[in-house]
Structure 1
């Protein structure tokens, strides 16, 4: 294997990264049901403060003919060329907590070298934990919460959140390889796969992206703004419900999936660590307010 350093360039900011941060990862490409990873990466980059640390080399990792870059043709000339990017960045959550964020496309080539490069940065920055997400289509109804299956070596997350625990062979994602290597090293790692209704797999399902963010929060303690995604999900599900109501065959399918889902979940009750007693997930503002109350109480105790 050639030197992994051939795959990337460091930015000046790469030398001033705090140690001991969590790493969050999601790479687009294979089996991104509901557009979960695509939405997640774009949402985090759009809503959070980020600083690029590592820029990976497209010419080493990307099959351009399989995923062609886009160009903007403006009347009689090319006005813009937009190649995909694969980066490791320093990001801050809604409360300012720093973390590392690996986003972009899943490399087509040099998987072992790319995995070695990721492990090198995990060691360099003394990463506290690695959490990654992806999504697959499943025969589940859109009328029920999106659930997850959890892999890795964080047993508390598996016990609390993993609704489906199969023994099966499946095509690997590159981050499966990273997870495998981290497990061998005994480093904390968790992979979350969102189980997206199969009939919505080819659409962008905002509710599944919310589940991905909630899963990352459960694994890392990071807080993300989700109000926009939640509103988009309500609008999206309203449109789906309208289509179901007007299609008798689809309505029967959803009803059958509901019965099977409820029967399965009845024997696998897994309360989410993020929900309240009513089963509702608090908003980012509510979490921030609760944290402020907690910190205020700690300050009062320290003053006594």
Structure 2
């Protein structure tokens, strides 16, 4: 039954996958603040040399009307039909250590069947640990680094969580996957990275660094991050310069910093990030002016490595 979800299987590669390696899950379609998932997927495909093992059947899992494939019209005919893909691949880190990479679109349909298939594949390959990540916009200052919430079965990593809320939320398929893996006693680590609300529509390099750090901590894999950190530093300097030029933006950033520092001081008491007994604007109200200011000065669409400076 599981095999029916596959549209292609490379049997020879499948049979040669080493046992006991990590599984890294990078699925688009859920929250992708700061371009976190798109950046990570691009990094993995450019840096880790993935070799496809299994391709999932998009006809069964994808709503084409909500995520329409691209096609090129060439004068008098169509070419280059490019539907979205969902694949399991064998990749390698900087030291040539192997790992499995599940990447592509988040399924729109048949979540339970898809998760069952992934569980069976994890069992087949004796996966050592599964890790996934997502990024959500929050009223946090960019000057305090990327804040993360860690979930799953690794207490040593969960202890590093800065924000540990209890809340109901709309689930994504990676949440269901973690839930099922945890339920059968498999090792799993999930990361939710909090991206400054006012930068969530920009490609935010610092969140990619946080993602790679998280994967390395969970799996023991090694990835090159020096150039990513240089990009993140350059991006932060651009944002700092833009904010310095606007009094309202400076005031809002200082407000965010003050609230964040207050939360950190009260963390032992598990106080709310926003402080339930303190009046504070919503994330939209607090960040709208700063977001508008940055958007007005944003680079052209072909330049995505920073908010832009005129």
Q: TM-score, normalised by structure 2?
A: 0.82
Instruction: Tell me, yes or no, if structure 1 residue 154 matches structure 2 residue 193.
Output: no
Aligned match of 2:282 = none
- Aligned pair count reads 266
Distance 1:228 1:67 in 2: 32
For structure 2, list consecutive stretches of 5 or more residues without a partner in the other structure. Answer: 269-310
Distance 2:68 2:238 in 1: 32
Q: Deviations over 1:215-246 (max 9, x none)?
A: 11011111111223222222322222232122
Deviation at 1:81, TM superposition (A): 2.0
Aligned match of 1:263 = 262
**SS class of match (2:207):** helix
Q: Deviations over 1:13-58 (max 9, x none)?
A: 1111010001111211121111111110111111112111110111
**Could you say what the CA RMSD is over the residues aligned between the two structures, in angstroms?**
1.5
**SS class of match (2:142):** coil
Instruction: Tell me, yes or no, if structure 1 residue 30 matches structure 2 residue 30.
Output: yes
Aligned match of 2:93 = 93
Distance 2:195 2:213 in 1: 15
Q: TM-score, normalised by structure 1?
A: 0.84
Deviation at 1:75, TM superposition (A): 4.5
Distance 1:6 1:228 in 2: 41
Distance 1:110 1:143 in 2: 41
Distance 1:69 1:237 in 2: 34
Aligned match of 1:118 = 118
Distance 1:76 1:63 in 2: 28
The equivalences for 1:155-234 within 5 A come to 155-159=155-159, 161-234=160-233
Aligned match of 2:9 = 10
Distance 1:43 1:240 in 2: 23
Answer with 24-33 or 70-79: which moved more.
70-79
Distance 1:102 1:172 in 2: 19
Deviation at 1:76, TM superposition (A): 4.5
The equivalences for 1:29-108 within 5 A come to 29-108=29-108
Instruction: Tell me, yes or no, if structure 1 residue 142 matches structure 2 residue 132.
Output: no
Aligned match of 1:253 = 252
Distance 1:216 1:192 in 2: 9
Distance 2:240 2:68 in 1: 35
Classify 1:100/1:254 alpha carbon distance in 2 versus 1 (closer, same or farther; 3 Å): same
**SS class of match (2:117):** helix
